[in-house]
Structure 1
Amino acid sequence: MTTRYRITDKDRKIYHVMYRINKYQFNEFKCQASLHKSNYAVLINVPDKGIKYSPDFDFSEEYYILKELNHPQIPTASDFGQGELFRDGKFLIKQNFIVLQHINGYDLVEYYSEKDVENAVTVEEIIKLFITVCDPLQHLHNKHYVHCDLKPGHLILNQRTGLIHLIDFELAIKRGGIIKGISREYASPEQLQMLNYLKDLPRKVHYEALSSSIRLDGRTDLYAVGLILYQILTKKLWQSEKILPRKMNSQIPQRLEDILNGLLEVNVANRIPSAEELKSLLSNI
């Protein structure tokens, strides 16, 4: 006599697909944003850590950059390399990977997408949160690095601490270096200019000549901060609208609009010069 078993919904809930790269185990991953080049999963056998992995992207530069940084709002990195990805014990593909401190929280833009931003209390809350962005940014810039990829999904709100954390340093470069890539909607004018030069650059022209004519520094990241702040306060993209924010949200103080204008200056020389200065301006509102 053959006994037949029927898999119920309850059974399905307790069954998990198991993935493994080297000693790092995780359940089925889910990319948090379509803009990400790599996959991300929270580890189940190492507390409070996650793993980013990609068959194409090398994470060694991100690992060594994070090793130079030491700030509570920037994740720490503990391992990187290449390993074999297994699904329930079956080999799938070789992957490059990096193991990081897992930052539990919300995409800042997503968090405010359903909230009423035409409210003075909410605007004040947004200002206070953006003040917390300044310290990790200043730390990064003091170490002579530029993030180069600040966008929704890379500013994470930790509700427990009330702080914004910076994540994903895949495209970070040394100040004055050459970009590795861009997210076009959140790129600064100088990043777009450099990209155009790189597309047209004759092979005989050295990168050093390009980096001396277009120099990226901390102000590149501040432009992206302005784009994200504008998007949260207006629920519109500056690159599409280019309308003064107070025309769309009357609760924005004039001084905050002035700060936004200072962040979104096309001319780098006229832009707010540092995250430290931004913090001071926001704190004085």
Structure 2
Amino acid sequence: MSATDQPPHSWSSFDLLERSRGGGDAAAAALFARYFARLTSLAKSRLPSQIASRIDPEDVVMSVFRSFFVDARDGRYVLGRKGDLWRLLAAITKHKLMRQTRFHRADRRSIDLDAPLEQIDETRLVRLLEPTPEDAVDLADLLNDFTSGLSPLDGHVLELRMREMQIPEIAREVGCSERSVRRSLSRLRSSFLDRLSSDQNGLAPDVETLPSALLDHGDFLLQRMIGSGRMGKVFKAWQRGEDRPVAVKFLRKSLIHHPGAVRRFLAEAQTIAELRHPKIVGTHGLGRTPGGSYFLVMEYVAGSNLDLHTRRSDVSWRQAVVWVVETCQALEHAHARGIVHCDLKPANLLIDENGGVRVTDFGLARHLSDPTPRTVHIEGTAPYMAPEQASRSWGPIDARTDVYGLGAVLFALLTGRPPWIGGSLPEVLAKVVGDEPVVSPGLIRPDLPTTVVDVCRKCLAKRPRDRYGSVMEVRAALVPLIEER
């Protein structure tokens, strides 16, 4: 049996590399299925414990695959017929881990774990116990980052102490002496206060694109958290000066020393500022906290998002079409300015007080005119991701990437699930880059009109050239369905 007749799971490393060089989607799917879990385990095992909470192994592996696909296509790798592709991918993974480890360790301070209790500044402890709403945002991120790196014993002691248990009770619960508990609490207090001091004195990297007029953080009264993501948290707040409700998105405290994260956050603010459309959540400006982090102030939309809405109740196909058409209107405005959203999903579509859709979260948006687009990372939400976002072999990211996103949103509204599902992230990514088409929504919901199914399937075509050429064409195909009685 020749290599072309063998199933992908039996291909050799040489065959996989050659097919990846030619942009084969089956090879990309086989690579994800074969190596993703192993590389993730490798990344986890090689991460130093001091920074394990700051680096996501799956993000590292996604970056490895993206680099591999790009470099393989450019002919940078040579492998004999008996060569081992695992060694190559493992070497790329170790190289990326080494670079990230050096970056994260560059500004870390040493921590004296045996500092006596007498050295603790009690005034800072009072500030910890009675934070202002603005402090609470930074402290929440700081606590999450701090607790994720604790040893099992210290983590258990801290949890019991936060339940207001006394030292003798904690000692009995964890099975050690009271002296060991006191030493553990001493380490925890000293380490946390040292981390707090380090974070408060740290400065975000210099960014040339800072606006000249920054909003004053003291003008905003935080009320409650309404969203959370990898880059930051979103709060409903009251803007005192304007006497209005707003949504405030804070960059995570742990990311303010990452130049790439800061630039992306500021780029999102700049992107939204360029877009003025009634179907896009607008921005009121950018600000900076006393601790050196950044926050973005946006319009507050009182309703929920489409993801929550579909979980609570079924959506009629006509209503789904109306919402997608409204999303098209917002994207036409963005595309006319060279901006592609790149992360369309029900959770990023808000429902306003009139029942209409408002597009939000341009954190992964790309400017088509950007001479140096980001190409080394796989970015997006896997179950809704277009193939070209996971593998360059499918072509460049352009306006048709959002056409795919529209199809993914329509699919989810019609069926109650994303286009791609699986038991693990590698399984989902393998389906995204594989050659198998998305299942027809008509098979999941037989009552759907044929035209709605056809539009959805054309949007979700794997090859960009087989989709609609623009979101305007998608809207033109859907509008007659709304007008029909």
TM over 0.5: yes
SS at match of 2:134: strand
Aligned CA RMSD, in angstroms, stands at 2.4
Structure 1: stretches of 5+ with no match in the other structure:
1-15, 85-92, 198-212
- Identify the residue that residue 288 of structure 2 maps to in structure 1: 82
Code of the aligned partner of 1:108: L
1:108-119 matches, cutoff 5 A: 108-117=306-315
Instruction: State the alpha-carbon separation in 2 of the partners of residues 76 and 223 from structure 1.
Output: 24
Which residue of structure 1 lines up, in the alignment, with residue 458 of structure 2? Answer: 262
> Residues 226 and 36 (structure 1 numbering): CA distance in 2 closer, same or farther, change over 3 Å?
farther
Equivalent of 1:105, from 303, 308, 327?
A: 303
Query: How far off its partner does 1:36 sit?
Result: 4.6
1:202 match: none
Question: C-alpha separation between the residues in 1 aligned to 2:362 and 2:230?
Answer: 12
Tell me which residue corresponds to 1:37: 231
- Residue 23, structure 1, aligned to residue 138, structure 2: no
Larger radius of gyration: 2
User: For 1:200-211, what aligned pairs fall within 5 Å after superposition?
Assistant: none
- 1:31 positional shift: 4.7
Distance change >3 Å, CA 116–CA 168, structure 1 → 2? closer
Distance in 2 of aligned mates of 1:25 and 1:67: 20
The question of whether the paired residues in 1 share the 8 Å contact of 2:459 and 2:467 is answered with yes
Q: What is the number of equivalent residue pairs in this alignment?
A: 239
Structure having the larger proportion of residues in strand: 1
Q: Of 463, 467, 483, which residue of structure 2 is paired with 1:271?
A: 467
Alignment of 1:47-86 (within 5 A): 47-54=244-251, 55=253, 56=255, 57-58=261-262, 59-84=265-290
Q: Which has a greater percent of helix?
A: 2
In structure 2, the CA distance between the partners of 1:83 and 1:129, relative to structure 1 (3 Å rule), is same
TM-score of the superposition, structure 1-length normalised?
A: 0.76
In structure 2, do the counterparts of structure 1 residues 51 and 116 end up closer, same or farther at CA, with 3 Å as the change threshold? closer
**1:80–1:45 Cα change, 3 Å:** closer
The letter for the 1-side match of 2:349 is L
Deviation of 1:266 after TM superposition, in Å, equals 0.6
How far, CA to CA, are the matches of 1:283 and 1:103 in structure 2? Answer: 25
| Residue of structure 1 in register with 2:360 after alignment | 167
Q: State the AA in 2 paired with 1:96.
A: Y
Which runs of 4 or more aligned residues in structure 1 lie more than 6 Å from their structure 2 counterparts after TM superposition?
none
Q: Secondary structure of the residue that 2:318 maps to in structure 1?
A: helix
Change in 2 beyond 3 A, CA 1:282/1:36: farther
Q: Which AA in structure 2 matches 1:63?
A: A
**Distance apart, 1:270 and its partner CA:** 0.9
Asked if the contact 1:26/1:41 (under 8 Å) is kept, the reply is no
State the Cα distance separating 1:30 from its structure 2 match.
Answer: 2.3
TM-superposition CA deviations, 1:63-119 (whole Å, max 9, x none) = 2212221111112222224313xxxxxxxx5422111112222211221223234xx
Residue pairs, 1:186-225, within 5 angstroms: 186-194=384-392, 214-225=395-406
